[in-house]
Structure 1
Amino acid sequence: MSVISAESSLVVALVKAGQTKIRYPADLVRDDGTRITVRAPWAAPGVRDFGFVRFEPGDVFTEHYWRDRWFAVKEVRTGSGGLKGWYCDITRPAVLRDGELVVEDLDLDLWVSADGSSVLRLDEDEFEASGLADRDPVAADAARRALDELELLARTDGLAALLG
């Protein structure tokens, strides 16, 4: 396992269905050997409006990836520092190699609003349509369990402890 020192930068590569969905530079905040935390500005072009939140130029993401967990948690703030909430991706455990953090998106997501009043399970239809349950039932089961775990943490104020 490779651990990188603080004050480094790396590239985050989000992969979905075997294809790189997006690659972007990020600044390393911390790597303790299990969890890698990076910070990066909103990397996609333009605005993405989900209805419950808008990601837009100027937003800053503090992203937490684990080498031993099936999810990533992204704290989303405005450019002026206001907390929008947490966008959680269900992923295979992250792999760091040669300055690139590779994360495989498994379609399931969870949104938690800044005040915790809204916890939304997202993209369950995409997950079912992906065929992962047929191709890799072990991974599909791990993904479902990870989503349940994150939802429980979100509903019981456990996200702060997880990220602390």
Structure 2
Amino acid sequence: MSMRSADPAATLTVALVKAGRTKIRYPAQQVGDDGTRITVRAPWAAPGVRDFGFVRFEPGDVFTEHYWRDRYYAVKEVRTGGGQLKGWYCDITRPAVLRGSELLVEDLDLDLWVSADGSSVLRLDEDEFEESGLAGRDPRAAEAAVRALDELEHLARTEGLAELVR
């Protein structure tokens, strides 16, 4: 997939919204935009260390994040500051919307973690998704979210996510 040339100096603000509230906002360097997929790079944006048990996100980690305007997910390649691949953290989201210099992403609770070697593929937060009530409020979005999670899990277990974000 060829990328439109992105302004190497362009900084976007990624705004991750969940349940109508901004969960986090952070600056990210735009790496590419082919009209469908927007790719940005950013350091770990949350304060301190977040230890999930299966991976630790910490200061110095670098996220290369791929957002689609037509898909219900985002794929984030996670590396240490030294460049070692930790894995891929995938958020199930509504399609991303770029408004000026803000990249708006609505988190739909479901997530997928894939370790660097592909040996660990974990579906996350399915309980939060059920509790969110999305299936009752917006059944089409809920169905699209579950399909997106299934699709990413299938790709992770077969071709690997590296092929998706090439």
- The structure 1 residue matched to 2:106, chosen from 90, 104, 107, is 104
Match of 1:76 in 2: 78
Contact 1:6/1:31 (8 A) holds in 2:
no
**Which string of whole-angstrom CA distances, capped at 9 and with x for unpartnered residues, describes residues 26-73 of structure 1?**
000000100000000000000000000000000000000000000000
Amino acid in the other structure paired with 1:57:
P
Match of 1:5 in 2: 6
Shift of 1:157: 2.1
- The structure 1 residue matched to 2:149, chosen from 144, 147, 150, is 147
Alpha-carbon separation, structure 2, partners of 1:74 and 1:162: 11
Match of 1:129 in 2: 131
Q: Do the aligned partners of residues 135 and 40 (structure 1) sit closer, same or farther apart at CA in structure 2, a change above 3 Å counting? A: same
Amino acid in the other structure paired with 1:162:
L
TM-score relative to the length of structure 2: 0.95
**Aligned partner of residue 148 in structure 2, secondary structure:** helix
**Aligned partner of residue 46 in structure 2, secondary structure:** coil
Alpha-carbon separation, structure 2, partners of 1:31 and 1:9: 13
Contact 1:74/1:88 (8 A) holds in 2:
yes
Runs of 4+ in 1 over 3 A off after TM superposition: none
Shift of 1:110: 0.1
Shift of 1:4: 8.4
Contact 1:74/1:86 (8 A) holds in 2:
yes
The CA RMSD measured in Å over matched residues stands at 1.1
**What percent of counterpart residues are identical?**
82
Match of 1:88 in 2: 90
Once the two structures are overlaid, the 10-residue window that deviates more, 84-93 or 3-12, is: 3-12
**Aligned partner of residue 46 in structure 1, secondary structure:** coil
